[in-house]
Amino acid sequence: MSGARFAASFAALGALLLRHRLAGLGALVLLVVAALAAAAPLLPLPNPDLTDLANRLQRPGAPGHPLGTDHLGRDLLARLVWGTRLSLAVGVFASLIAALAGSCIGIAAGFFGGRTDNLLMRGIDMLMAFPYILLALAIVAALGPGLLNALYAVAIVNIPFFARSVRGATAAIAHREFVDAARLAGMRNWRIIGGEILPNVAPVITIAMSTTIGWMILETAGLSFLGLGSQPPQADLGSMLGEGRNLLINAPHVSVVPGAMIFVVVVSINLLGDGVRDWLDPRLRAGQLSRPAAVTRIERADAGAAHRPDGALLQVRGLRTRFVSAGARTQYAVNGVDLTVDAGQCLGLIGESGSGKSVTALSLLGLAPSPPAVIGGGRVYLAGEDLLAADFERLRAIRGRRVAYIFQNPMAALHPLMTVGAQLTEAIRCHRRMPRQAALDEALGLLRQVRMPGAAARARQYPHELSGGMRQRVGIALALANAPELVIADEPTTALDVTVQAQILQLLAQLRRERNLALIFVTHDFAVLSQLCDRVAVMYAGRIVESGPTHDILARPAHPYTAGLIRCAPRLGGGRRPAAIPGLPPAADRLPRGCAFAPRCARRREACEAGKVASTRLSAARRVRCLYPLEAA
Amino acid sequence: MTAAIEARNLSKTFGGERRWFGRARPPVCAVREVSFRVAAGETLGIVGESGCGKTTLARMLAGLLPPSGGRISVDGKEPRAGAGPWGGLVQYVFQDPLGALNPRKTIRQIMHAPLRHLLGMDAPAREARVAELFDAVNLHLAFLDRYPHEFSGGQAQRIGIARALAANPRIVVLDEPVSALDVSVQAQVLNLLADLRRAYHLTYLLISHDLAVVEAVSDRVAVLYCGAIVELADAAEVFARARHPYTRLLADSAPVPGRPPAAAAPGELPDAPTRGCAFAARCSRADAACRQRAPEPVYTRKENYVRCFRPLETPR
């Protein structure tokens, strides 16, 4: 299975390389064509407009005319080079004009908003209401035929495309905090547009240009082909094609030569444009669009070693998870975590962001996203069964049925297009076959259990119609849908207001009592944790540094980090300034050799930084990973 | 004594204007009749839940948003109508430390902007001032040539604070300055802010949803509910001896280690303010009068007030 995934990631890499190679090829071809076109006056070519009726319609390879001559005996090679020069120039200038005008309109509309936006964009809408070729024809008809007028027509027709993409990008940036900051720094509107907005929308403009310039050359050629662009005897690719059209049977080379050139130019521009877009648009880079696999990749280095699971509901031994991505250093997120949760027990997993607490929670059921996550070792026993050895179908049967998750952001965890009732019914019927109506009744029962006001009416609503607190109640109902033995709650109250947080905490405490539920509560806040959890495990740099009964650890922390974490958060009614822990947590890609907390620790001695620090038993219920623990227990 | 910053009946309504086609959008009252005075050197904490108008109020005070009604004066002076930000007088520290730095500019360009545009300093003077500021917020000068994405949240917030101080402001609006930071880094930034306040004689308006942070840092606290200040009191007393039932609800909801979970009160912020007291629907003490008229401020001490017909009397 991991072999297939390996092959898939190689295929993705191959596709990326190939695309970049194609972009390179496009750039090369374009460069050669552009160089030839630019050098046209220097090349030893005959006059492209010189008619020579005696030598009309010469085949390619005729003496003095490598590509032959057209119906007036003009040298096709010379006309091709000069025509390409003209077509390229027109395409580039039309693109520049459209980009300039469109970007100005787009930035003004997006930045100023309101009436300005309305006025400008409705104007753009009117431009877009006409089929573009009709509009171009109308513009040329009004201005009169001629290459310059065709250029204007093509540029005007393409303004809406630029205006709309640039407006979208600008509107997304205009309300960002750094724009407010620039205003507070005394910058005026035009300076903000030039200094803050433009650099951030420039990639959008470049992407739009790279994808439209090929089109513009085609459109100009189209107008010339219809006789509305360049006027005889001036050659551009479109008019050459038009002149050759009548001779398609007798002298196909007259139209094939400019046609091939249009093809080569447009294809190479589009290939290059794709490359530019990939390079500038971070979302398309390096396989980020690829969906994570259904199970975290598992490459256990300790596959042979077996632990003996005891009677605990959940037992985690030596769990290791790392993040591996090409071109970046490996991030070691979880580095040997041991946890035990008994039935009906609540374990608090506390740590700062980057401590590995969420990755630990996700790794238990193979939910850490792969790529880039890789579980590198350890055992996760659920009632004696090793979940990391289980196949996907087995895991799927356990996920949501015996072990369920509650996520931090219920808006992101709920399906935006399904009603609350439908989502609950789906979760129930996914694990237990039952008629729809029975499942719906059960869903309503669940909503009542999580104290959802007006449960029956709420079941028919969509997530966006609920408040944050109600959404999290739905998230909890979803987790409880199949009466799991263990619920893993990842910061379930962090996104909520304090009064709503109190409601949700109270609800979780009640449900735990009623259902004898085991709970792993992931949080960064000791105060929240102490409301709910009997035991706590403190995580730092991917390891559990201290564990034990909550009240015991709060009263007498043994690890200096735990003590710092308790002291550094201000407490209501505490009336004191918080005591900060100096420094920053270590980066997960360069963890220190010894104790990860040593660089920030006041009690650090040489031995701390010399090598790994083992976890030692302090008392029957407490363990600490410190050589010089604070006086405790 | 003139207040460093004073707000009188400050209001902001969104929507309500007629569209070109169709009906007018119903107006949403984000901030209603907010009045307070903050003395020079004082820290006023503003607490409330999401949607209560904290950030709208903060943006008006910083001059980023024109008020729909009422007045703001800084050092006894009122700004010209529609003049935008107050020059350098009032500065702002943003909630999202990285979002407040333009990703395409170096830290040097970001730091020089206020010095150049507000104070008109020349390049050598700007360099010297930036060095001084970075020293004050404990940042290394080597950071100046890097881009924002290379910094952690705590470092980025120090840069944001240094930028806010660059133009010698009298008043700094701190909009949730530590809520995006890690717990162990929060305390560093809070302590830095306290030190800077003394060193530069600053006046702070600290906006936060975290009662403990507000209580620890502020001198006085304003409690905001549905866009109105329901209680304004000294920080030492506001939660310990709450007078407004909503303040009491907030204080009881905040988790405190060792205290059993509060019996949570039902209800959440209403979508649209109702007639009478906005809190009446959730209030156990509300009577007919509360649902009829909105309560006026009742002054408890010189500048402190509670907006309630039936305030809690007994100290806890």
Pick the CATH number of B5-218 from 3.40.50.2300, 3.40.50.12280, 3.40.50.300, 2.50.20.20: 3.40.50.300
Q: Is A553 helix (H, G, I), strand (E, B) or coil?
A: helix
Q: Is the pLDDT of residue A395 over 80?
A: yes
- Picking from B20, B50, B84, the nearest residue to A497 by CB comes out as B50
Residue A198 exposure: Cα atoms within 13 Å on the Cβ side: 12
On whether the CB atoms of residues B1 and B75 are closer than 8 A, the answer is no
Substitution target from B183, B188, B246, B250 for chain A, most A beta carbons within 10 A: B183
pLDDT interval class at A59 (50, 70, 90): confident
Give which of B211, B203, B216 is closest to B46, Cα–Cα. Answer: B211
- Picking from A354, A453, A499, the nearest residue to B253 by CB comes out as A499
Q: With residue A333 as reference, give the H or E element that holds it.
A: strand A331-341
On whether the CB atoms of residues A487 and A406 are closer than 8 A, the answer is yes
pLDDT score at A287: 47
pLDDT score at A371: 76
pLDDT score at B316: 43
Query: A519-542, pLDDT tens digit by residue?
Result: 999 998 888 898 889 999 999 999
- Residues of chain A with Cβ-Cβ distance to B52 below 8 Å are none
- Residues of chain B with Cβ-Cβ distance to A565 below 8 Å are 183-184
Structure tokens at B69: 């009604």
Please compute the mean of the pLDDT values over residues A573-602 and round it to a whole number. Answer: 84
- Picking from B50, B117, B212, the nearest residue to A186 by CB comes out as B117
Structure tokens at A414: 């709920």
pLDDT score at A80: 92
DSSP, res B150: G
Residue of B nearest to A201 (CA): B104
Query: B255-294, pLDDT tens digit by residue?
Result: 887 777 666 666 666 655 567 888 888 888 888 888 888 8
- Picking from A180, A505, A554, the nearest residue to B257 by CB comes out as A554
- Residues of chain B with Cβ-Cβ distance to A571 below 8 Å are 212, 256-257
pLDDT score at B80: 60
Residue of A nearest to B188 (CA): A580
Q: Is the pLDDT of residue B203 over 50?
A: yes
Question: Rounded to a whole number, what is the distance in Å from the CA of B268 to chain A's nearest CA?
Answer: 7
On whether the CB atoms of residues A140 and A153 are closer than 8 A, the answer is yes
Give residue B176's Cα distance to chain centre: 7
The strand order across the sheet containing B171-175 reads B90-93, B171-175, B203-208, B43-47, B220-225, B228-234, B305-306, B298-299
- Residues of chain A with Cβ-Cβ distance to B84 below 8 Å are 183
- Picking from A570, A571, A584, the nearest residue to B152 by CB comes out as A584
Distance CA A217, CA B95 (A): 48
Chain mean pLDDT for chain A = 87
pLDDT score at A588: 83
Q: What ipTM was estimated for this complex?
A: 0.88
Residue of A nearest to B215 (CA): A572
Residue B132: which residues within 8 A CB-CB, separation 6 or more? Answer: none
- B271-276's contacts with Cβ under 8 Å and 24+ in sequence apart are B272/B28, B273/B29, B273/B32, B273/B226, B273/B227
Q: What percent of chain A is predicted at pLDDT more than 70?
A: 94
Residue of B nearest to A508 (CA): B261
- Residues of chain A with Cβ-Cβ distance to B210 below 8 Å are 570
Give residue B41's Cα distance to chain centre: 16
Contact across the interface for A575 and B236, Cβ inside 8 Å? yes
Contact across the interface for A199 and B104, Cβ inside 8 Å? yes
CA B238, B239, B243, B248 torsion-angle sign:
positive
Residue of B nearest to A552 (CA): B258
Q: Catalogue all structural domains in chain A, each as residue range(s) with its CATH number.
A: 8-45+68-284 (1.10.3720.10), 291-346+353-389 (no CATH), 403-533 (3.40.50.300), 551-570+580-633 (no CATH)
Please compute the mean of the pLDDT values over residues A453-459 and round it to a whole number. Answer: 86
Alpha carbon dihedral A418, A421, A424, A425, in 10-degree steps, equals -100
Distance CA B25, CA B16 (A): 5
Question: Rounded to a whole number, what is the distance in Å from the CA of A367 to chain B's nearest CA?
Answer: 24
Longest CA span, chain A: 111
Contact across the interface for A498 and B104, Cβ inside 8 Å? no
Distance CA A536, CA A351 (A): 11
Entry field: residues in chain B: 316
Give which of A490, A180, A155 is closest to B65, Cα–Cα. Answer: A180
Contact across the interface for A177 and B99, Cβ inside 8 Å? yes
A–B interface: beta-carbon pairs under 8 A: 201
- Picking from A185, A200, A500, the nearest residue to B268 by CB comes out as A500
Return the bridge partners of A382, or none.
Answer: A314, A385
Beta pairing class for B220-225 and B43-47: parallel
Question: Rounded to a whole number, what is the distance in Å from the CA of B310 to chain A's nearest CA?
Answer: 21
Q: Is the pLDDT of residue A624 over 70?
A: yes
Contact across the interface for A568 and B255, Cβ inside 8 Å? no
- Residues of chain A with Cβ-Cβ distance to B99 below 8 Å are 176-178
Question: Rounded to a whole number, what is the distance in Å from the CA of B289 to chain A's nearest CA?
Answer: 25
Helices (H), A352-435: 357-363, 392-398, 410-413, 420-431
On whether the CB atoms of residues A152 and A139 are closer than 8 A, the answer is yes
Helices B123-136 and B107-117: crossing angle in degrees, nearest 10, is 120
Query: A262-304, pLDDT tens digit by residue?
Result: 999 999 998 888 888 777 765 555 444 567 788 888 888 776 6
Residue of A nearest to B182 (CA): A352
Distance CA A387, CA B272 (A): 49
Rg of chain B in Å (alpha carbons): 21
pLDDT score at A577: 74
pLDDT score at B299: 86
Give the position of tokens 């006046």.
B203
Contact across the interface for B256 and A551, Cβ inside 8 Å? no
- Picking from A176, A181, A502, the nearest residue to B264 by CB comes out as A502
Question: Rounded to a whole number, what is the distance in Å from the CA of A125 to chain B's nearest CA?
Answer: 16
Contact across the interface for A580 and B194, Cβ inside 8 Å? no
List, as one string, the DSSP characters of A163-202: HHHHHHHHHHHHTSHHHHHHHHTT--HHHHIIIIIHHHHH
Residue A7: which residues within 8 A CB-CB, separation 6 or more? Answer: none
Give which of A39, A48, A45, A32 is closest to A85, Cα–Cα. Answer: A39
Beta pairing class for A373-382 and A297-298: parallel
Distance CA B55, CA B210 (A): 14
Query: B220-245, pLDDT tens digit by residue?
Result: 999 998 888 999 999 888 888 888 99
Alpha carbon dihedral A13, A19, A22, A23, in 10-degree steps, equals -120
Reduced 3-state DSSP string for B66-102: CCCEEEEEECCECCCCCCCCCCCCEEEECCCCCCCCC
- Picking from A186, A505, A571, the nearest residue to B87 by CB comes out as A186
Q: Is B203 helix (H, G, I), strand (E, B) or coil?
A: strand
Question: Rounded to a whole number, what is the distance in Å from the CA of B217 to chain A's nearest CA?
Answer: 8
Query: A369-390, pLDDT tens digit by residue?
Result: 887 888 988 889 998 888 888 8
Query: A319-366, pLDDT tens digit by residue?
Result: 999 988 777 788 899 999 999 999 889 999 999 888 889 999 999 988
- Residues of chain B with Cβ-Cβ distance to A353 below 8 Å are 182
- Picking from A185, A352, A470, the nearest residue to B118 by CB comes out as A185
Question: Rounded to a whole number, what is the distance in Å from the CA of A557 to chain B's nearest CA?
Answer: 14
Please compute the mean of the pLDDT values over residues A235-262 and round it to a whole number. Answer: 88
- Picking from B50, B186, B257, the nearest residue to A568 by CB comes out as B186
**Domain segments of chain B as ranges:** 5-218
Q: Distance between the two ends of chain A, CA-based, in angstroms?
A: 48
pLDDT score at A420: 92
Residue of A nearest to B52 (CA): A497
Contact across the interface for B85 and A184, Cβ inside 8 Å? yes
Give residue A209's Cα distance to chain centre: 23
- Picking from A352, A468, A469, the nearest residue to B184 by CB comes out as A352
Residue B296: which residues within 8 A CB-CB, separation 6 or more? Answer: B307
Structure tokens at A264: 């080569």
Residue of A nearest to B192 (CA): A580
More confident residue, A410 or A575: A410
Helices (H), A245-388: 253-280, 357-363
Contact across the interface for B182 and A585, Cβ inside 8 Å? yes
pLDDT score at A259: 92
Residue of B nearest to A181 (CA): B100
A338 phi, psi to nearest 5 deg? -110, 130
